Amino acid sequence: MTAKSFAELVKENFWYLTKQYGFTVKETLFSSDAFGNGKVEFRSSSTIVVVQLARFDVLTSIGPISEQEIGWLSFEQLVEFFSQGKDNMLLDLSMRQQYQFEEWITYRLSQYSIALRKYGEPFLRGDFSGWFKIQKWSLKKMQDEYRAMTGLEFPQNEGYVLYIKQKEKEQG
């Protein structure tokens, strides 16, 4: 990325995290190599938001600061859960061919920023009361997709399965 660094673009698009929700930027990484990877991590007292440039696209996650990374969710998962699959703003990659790399990343950051504001607002305020419900839904979706693709049951020793089982025990 040449005109602006990935970190600058992330901070411009997610300005509301620091200005409206009191987040601070805790980590900023960027490789200056062509198509380099980057990462910006925002933290509040309760929430972590990570925006990364990897594999030529934007990857995102959000979660309670007290949770292990395996318990965080992607913005795509939030959008799909809350819109019940009706909002495909983050899944529609059909326009990718119309953009140069930097333009595509800028466009994707804009879409992710809109999605987080629209679907992640309770979590930005630190309200994770519905978080486990989304995690269980996400696991079921993964299991269903795996079964549909392979005809097999999802491996029960998979890290996310074990994580959800532990959370279920903790919640009684």
Domain residue spans in the chain?
6-127, 130-172
CA dihedral 154, 155, 156, 162 (to 10 degrees): -100
Complete DSSP assignment for the chain: --SS-HHHHHHHHTHHHHHTT--EEEEEEE--STT--EEEEEE-SSEEEEEEEETTEEEEEEEETTS-GGG-B-HHHHHHHHHTT---TTT--TTGGGS-HHHHHHHHHHHHHHHHHHH-HHHHTT--TTHHHHHHHHHHHHHHHHHHHHSSPPPTTSHHHHHHHHHHHHT-
The pLDDT of residue 160 is above 80: yes
Q: Lowest-pLDDT range, 29-33, 83-87, 120-124, 152-156?
A: 29-33
In degrees, to the nearest 5, what angle opens at C-alpha 26 toward C-alphas 137 and 14?
Answer: 65
* Partners of residue 54 on adjacent β-strands: 57
Phi, psi (degrees; rounded to nearest 5) at 66: -85, -10
The pLDDT of residue 45 is above 70: yes
Tens of pLDDT, residues 87-121? 877 767 677 777 788 888 888 899 999 999 999 99
Q: Could you tell me which residues come within 8 angstroms of residue 8 by beta carbon, excluding any fewer than 6 positions away?
A: none
